[in-house]
Amino acid sequence: MNAIAPVMHRLGLDMVVTWLGGPGAMASVMGFGACAVLGLLGAVAGAGVHGGDLKLLAALGALLGLVQTGSVLMLALAVAVVYAIINLALLGRLNAAVRTGTQRLMEVMYLKRFHTPLPGDPAVADVTHIPMAVPLAIGLILTQWWQWRGGGF
């Protein structure tokens, strides 16, 4: 789609390019590359990024381009944070997570290292992954809606 955008411009079919929303081949390659690198870094660093999240992120980068994908990612991360807070509250672990996070933040700021042990809960200790497909889809929908309304994210 993004590769044919310049051809459509030359043929005078600017309405087709606008309707498809193609940012162009270079923006598409840059978006794909940046999102693939971010996803791979998240997977290697043990941040809980799995194959489906990685493929979806790279596909969004290729379809939307670098700038538009940044807007989608910001909204998706906001949705993921709200989801995580609600999930922790429903599991009854919100207080412990906030306490541990605050202690670790203070340690990093003042001691430059981690000493706080993580609370051990064998029932949910291996659950560290939040699938990003739903937050990314919600972020994409909100970004497109905002642009359609003239907000210009």
pLDDT digits (tens, 9 = 90+) for 8-35: 777 877 776 666 666 777 888 899 999 8
pLDDT at 40: 85
Domain locations in the chain as residue ranges? 5-148
Between helix 25-44 and helix 66-91 the angle, nearest 10°, is: 30
pLDDT tens digits along 87-96: 888 888 888 8
The Cα 43–Cα 39 span in angstroms is: 6
Ranges of the chain whose pLDDT falls below 50: 121-126
Classify 151 as helix, strand or coil: coil
Compute the CA torsion angle 31, 37, 38, 41 (nearest 10 deg).
Answer: 180
CA–CA distance, 29 with 63 (Å, rounded to integer):
9
pLDDT of 125: 47
8 A C-beta contact, residue 132 and residue 57 = yes
Could you say which DSSP state residue 47 is in? S
CA dihedral for 110, 115, 119, 122, sign (positive or negative): positive
User: Would you state the pLDDT for residue 33?
Assistant: 92
Question: How high is the pLDDT of residue 122?
Answer: 47
Model pTM score: 0.66
User: How many CB atoms are closer than 10 A to CB 77?
Assistant: 14
